[in-house]
Amino acid sequence: MQNIRNIAVIAHVDHGKTTLVDGLLEQSGTFGDHEQHDERAMDSNDLEKERGITILSKNTAIRYKDYKINIIDTPGHADFGGEVERVLKMVDGVLVLVDAYEGVMPQTKFVVKKMLAMGKKPIVVINKIDKPSADPDRVVDEMFDLFADMDATDDQQDFPVIYAAARDGIAKLDMDEEGGDFQCIFETILEHIPEPEGDKDNPAQAQVFTLDYDNYVGKIGISRIFNGTIKKGDNVMLAKADGEMVKGRITKLIGFHGLNRMEIEEAEAGDIVAMAGLETIDVGDTICDPVNPVALDPMHIEEPTLTVVFSVNDSPLAGQEGKHVTSNKIKDRLEAEMNTNVAMKFEVVGEGKFKVSGRGELQITVLAENMRREGFEFGISRPEVIRKEIEGVKCEPFEHLVIDVPEELGGTVIERLGKRKAEMKSMVPMGQGFQRIEFEIPARSLIGFRGQFLTDTKGEGVMNHSFIEYRPFSGEVESRPYGALISSENGEAVAYSIFNLQNRGVMYVKPQTKVYEGMIIGEHSKSNDLTVNPIKGKQQSNVRSSGADDAIKLVPPRDMSLERALEWIEDDELLEITPENVRIRKKFLTETERKRASRK
């Protein structure tokens, strides 16, 4: 058996997974002295760098002593839970990271539950112990309680604890020790993580857990070899999830070391490698021996809970900013996304309309953001939750919601959530004037809540949620309290008009913004929609008047990002997304069409 250890790093969002992997790469001597690398080196895609979050799981390998340690960095957002579920099947042990102040959060519970169910061995890393408000002892107790609640085995409950400040490269087994380096993490991995099962002399068996794409070699399947040996040039059988068997040949075998990939000639059971040459390869497929093909269990990924409709952009400004505007282009792009993203699904629902289902708003907005950067132009409808009928009862998804708010603002948030059918489960003080309140709430009640929440908590509140289960439908929930200001004309917005409209609500456009009839240019201060004219200039005359030279003072418009706009819109509205703009509009652009639709 090769000296291999396979581990995944799992945690709630922003608890320091990618920073810890940086430290492991750095301190294992994987980077040469001359190599330059960025902070959070594993977050390689542009969106990940900008937002400081991990979206796609990525793997790397380091050498320590005579061992090869394969490490997979996973996302922390609940929306990307599908990535985490796949990865756990590929590893033999897990580093569970927990923030020394925030403690156990919804996503920590989600990933720990999955990990324990699969029987993986955990190592708990209490990270960010250098925070002034850190309380590592409380967090260790929380972890013990969590493992007990989740029915962990005795072996799993007997987990080693490491205290770390990953950003500074410090790790130690005891809080009273002076700062140490990451050597104790490497040693703990070798001691506690079991070596991979499987035998290199058995017939070959490998399973794909992530896909990559290369313009030269096509689809690449990143796979864990469970049995046998796989060589470059081998003829293999690809066992698909639906039972179909496809013959193929491995044209390239790629190994990992640090941030580099290099071609290798062969790999044995227990290792994680990338393979090219199999054009129909998909996540969950088994690559097996053609003489004795034995497929591994296909992967079970939890179902999507949210859906939106992508449609061809049909606004008056369509086709002016994007390169790809036709329904065929949008369909091809969505199909390509589904090839690599198994937690999403899509179907054609009409002429130029595509229903895309995912795990949450963030997952859908990340796809939309990537598409607009690639030059696509399209419309998106308001997110809707996917309802199911279970034993004759109409059911909807429920979420576990955890919010951290300043103590004096807790009452406002509880009142808001009460109107949205949330049920409070616990409230505990967190120190530093903050308290943590936990709720169970219908998933649809969270659509549009984040913006309101940030306003209510003056930007200091933090909210996190993860899917619990489907429960019986809980009745209607109040929607957006304010109406929209709708443009009645086509043209360019004028400062004079915007100045006169400011006392009607919050504006989303500035002077010289292109507007069209039916486009939403602001939020009305009352609950009804109001049609206004943003392009009306001041009437000039040759008669002097006392107010002629009054200065026009404009309030800066509210910046509507893609996420914020998607949360804000109602059922009769759409987002028009182009490479340069995110516009909000009514589905029916003219007043007459809207009146006719409202009568139906």
Kindly list the distances between the CA atom of residue 139 and the CA atoms of 126, 134, 462, 531, in Å, as whole numbers in the listed order. Answer: 8, 9, 18, 54
Statement to judge: residues 170 and 135 lie in one domain = yes
The rounded distance, in Å, linking the Cα atoms of 385 and 394 is: 13
Domain termination site, one of 288, 323, 355: 288
| Residue bearing tokens 């999830």 | 241
Statement to judge: residues 464 and 495 lie in one domain = no
- Residue 214's H or E segment, with its range, is strand 205-214
- Is position 37 annotated in a ligand binding site? no
Q: What is the layout of strands, in order, in the sheet containing 58-64?
A: 58-64, 67-73, 4-11, 93-99, 121-127, 161-165, 170-172
Number of structural domains (the chain) is 4
Statement to judge: residues 529 and 573 lie in one domain = yes
Give the range of the structural domain holding residue 65, as residue numbers without chain letter: 4-192
Residue 106 φ then ψ, to 5°: -55, -45
515: domain CATH number is 2.40.50.250
- Is position 130 annotated in a ligand binding site? yes
Statement to judge: residues 76 and 140 lie in one domain = yes
- Which pLDDT score, from 0 to 100, does residue 192 have? 86
Statement to judge: residues 404 and 503 lie in one domain = no
Statement to judge: residues 45 and 162 lie in one domain = yes
Statement to judge: residues 590 and 445 lie in one domain = no
- Which pLDDT score, from 0 to 100, does residue 548 have? 57
CB 416 within 8 A of CB 453: yes
Statement to judge: residues 431 and 562 lie in one domain = no
Q: Which residues of the chain fall below pLDDT 50?
A: 1, 32-44
- Which pLDDT score, from 0 to 100, does residue 336 have? 82
- Which pLDDT score, from 0 to 100, does residue 276 have? 85
- Is position 17 annotated in a ligand binding site? yes
The rounded distance, in Å, linking the Cα atoms of 522 and 293 is: 61
- Which pLDDT score, from 0 to 100, does residue 78 have? 58
Domain termination site, one of 425, 448, 472: 472
Burial class (CB in 10 A: 0-12, 13-18, 19+), 489: middle
DSSP helix/strand/coil, 199: coil
The reply to whether 152 falls in a domain is: yes
- Is position 533 annotated in a ligand binding site? no
392: domain CATH number is 3.30.70.240
Statement to judge: residues 452 and 506 lie in one domain = no
The reply to whether 111 falls in a domain is: yes
The reply to whether 359 falls in a domain is: no
- Is position 15 annotated in a ligand binding site? yes
Statement to judge: residues 54 and 151 lie in one domain = yes
Q: Which of 385, 389, 340, 388 is nearest to 367 (CA)?
A: 340
The reply to whether 357 falls in a domain is: no
The reply to whether 26 falls in a domain is: yes
Domain termination site, one of 133, 162, 192: 192
- Is position 127 annotated in a ligand binding site? yes
Q: Which of 288, 283, 277, 279 is nearest to 298 (CA)?
A: 283
- Is position 425 annotated in a ligand binding site? no
Convert 197-220 to b/e letters by CB count within 10 Å (16 or more is b): ebebeeebbbbbbbbbeeeeeebb
The reply to whether 587 falls in a domain is: yes
Statement to judge: residues 504 and 591 lie in one domain = yes
- Which pLDDT score, from 0 to 100, does residue 208 have? 85
Positive or negative, the CA dihedral 473, 476, 478, 479 is positive
| 171-183 pLDDT, tens digit each | 888 877 776 788 8
Helices (H) and strands (E) in the chain, counts: 14, 35
CB 48 within 8 A of CB 54: yes
The rounded distance, in Å, linking the Cα atoms of 60 and 49 is: 18
pTM here is: 0.75
103: domain CATH number is 3.40.50.300
The rounded distance, in Å, linking the Cα atoms of 367 and 334 is: 9
235: domain CATH number is 2.40.30.10
Statement to judge: residues 38 and 155 lie in one domain = yes
- Is position 19 annotated in a ligand binding site? yes
The reply to whether 42 falls in a domain is: yes
The reply to whether 85 falls in a domain is: yes
- Is position 414 annotated in a ligand binding site? no
